[in-house]
Structure 1
Amino acid sequence: MKNILQIAAVLLLLMGCGNKNNEESSSEEQQEKTGIVVTQDQLDTNDLTIGPMEKRTFPKMVETSGMIDVPPENRASVMAFMGGFVKKTSLLVGDQVKKGQLLVVLENQQFLKMQQEYLEVFNQLDYLKAEFERNQTLFAEKIASQKNFLQAKSDYETAKARYQGLREQLQMLNISPSNVEQGKITSEAPIYAPISGSITKMNVAKGSYVSPATEILEIVDNDHVHLELTVFEKDILKVKKGQKIQFRIPEASEDAFNAEVYLVGTSIDGAKRSIKVHGHLEHEEDANFLPGMFVDAKIMTDTIKPLSLPEEAVIESEGTSYVLKLVNKEGSRYTFERVPVKQGNTYGGYTEIISTGLTDTDQFLTKGVFDLIGG
């Protein structure tokens, strides 16, 4: 019985040693799988660099979106004061126009009627004025009755008011009252450009009828464009005038552009629970921005100073971000371990590293990570 127990003890001891050796062997194999060994020659040849995390200043961002727009005075919607048929127009969308340039000529028989009425009143005005002054003198001398005086005064004042009203209407139609007074009557009314800019909408063609409520065309002056952003209620109190804005135009360019908060809205949109933020662009003359372009923007509301690494030191694989941490150095051999991390903000070529297991004394491969292990 004693011999049997001794044999069993030896077998258990041997099995334990075997398991220990297997665990050590498995650990070594796992280390070989997760560890990445790089020699000094590889570092030098491939321009790889090693360095620690740095504390750098990062802005706190409010993410928002909006569009490129122009001030109201840089956008003009051209309409007719009276309806008419388009007789002349040679403009297309994209054409550049100058302020005062002829855009469209309308034609309508009503223009003739208005000029005839104006001419009639104009010709009567001198007679009615003289009749009023004559009755005024006679009434003052108690020769004419008050009734005649008041009638003459009423006729003159009514004609004068009608004269002024018709004159204003003709001027609004760009028809010269002076020409009408000389008997030069026309059925055409020209429409001129109220501002300089480019045609962005053209809603009529030759021969089409234009009513007073119809937008004939739109002119936009792109000399000054700005950002019109929408900020949600939860972020409203963080946004102040003078804060920096970084924005991109995702559909047109990968470049980032800079702007500054110029105005912050003072009332909340009840449906969207948001306010409008107006931003002025930096170096807008160097970029070909167009009104209506959609933008993704970040407003820098504050700053923090977290630990960070260069952007290229962080690589993503299967939805997880990794850095290569130096875990061993023996002679000219460097062993790196792939460590998962959470990324924070990215700014100025550096990425905020959020990880409780890393310190500012740790060393990392800061350049050439993608070339070494790929994505």
Structure 2
Amino acid sequence: MKIRKIAGGFTAAKGFKAASCEAAIKYQNRRDMALLFTDVPCAVAGTFTSNRVKAAPVLWDMGIVKSGRPARAVVVNTGIANAGTGAEGMRLCSETAKHTAEILGISADEVLVGSTGVIGPNVPLDRITAGVTVMAKNLSDSAEAGTLASKAIMTTDTVNKEYAVEFDLPAASGEGTVTVRLGGMSKGSGMIHPNMCTMLGYLATDCAIDPSLLQKALSNVIKDTFNMITVDGDTSTNDTLLLFSSSLAGNKPITTEDESYELFCSALYSVCHDLSVLMASDGEGATHLLEIRVFNADTKENARTLARSVAGSSLVKAMIYGKDANCGRVLCALGYAGPAFDPANIVITMTGKSGSVCFYKDGCVQLFDEEKALAILSEHDVHFDCDMNMGNEEATAWGCDLTYDYVKINGDYRT
């Protein structure tokens, strides 16, 4: 295989280190801060929330990414989002960057920041700076350091999320190939909805690639990964996805959209896809992963819209939780999604390890085996295939069921 899954996450590629600590930002007796660092100045690409209300860290990071300047570090805290904090929120970002720069011996404009948690309160600067001081002494390129960092950025997540791959590209020397690595970590469990879905995500590669192509690759890949997951229909104020390139792998630099670029994009898709599915599966209170595949659609965008509509339907989510094969809800969600189609021509099938059940075709809900449907709905992963019979485009969206625990988690999230 050209792309090989490997152990690790953010620290898998050459030149990347991580550390974490207990800073007591909000939580007690758990890691709640992470520091990510690069041995060399890195090109950085980024995508951010589409919410008009953007947290201070988002505005700070957008400025650095858009400037085209290299970056060296990211300081991330969990528990408090530093959103809805006005000028004080931006001051916190600036002071965090200055302190981190002094400790690490770099420039403040090479430091990005990330926050996640409750909107409104101010993050205690003294705890942030104390945390950075501690973490700077413990930076490591070990897989364990990367894993602990991925755990430190969790909020209501029940599992940490990290993934890494490697692949071979032509060597810069012109002789043979070199191994290139790409890995990352993300957090996200609630307030997750497309464009660009609620999350913090940090990816790192040692691939030598033109910065503009790095950004293009990231912007394209999220359309069919992070932008295709939904938990609850809410898009956060803090969504941030950053991709760093250290260029230390020794590959021939990617400067055009050639075969090497396509392989890099495939590797990036692999990492983003698996992190996305992990996030959807770990939706707040979730007991099932929901996958909606729409195929034979007339356009790619229509396929995406239709798939996201079904994955985001509260009634479909409740149906999955209750293991009630009331599959007309899938048909309904397709119908109000927006794109035009002929209901008489589509076919909808539910599939799982237990088999498959076709419950709609020829314009009619079909009689189906209720026991087989229940067996499929009792599995953790539930899949719906929607054949639109209109063209050749397809898209897949991921979500989860809607449970009582989701309401419990969010009913007292702040208190």
User: What TM-score, normalized to structure 2?
Assistant: 0.17
Q: Which has the higher contact order (CA 8 A, sep 6+)?
A: 1
Hey, which of these two has a bigger chunk of strand by percent?
A: 1
Larger radius of gyration: 1
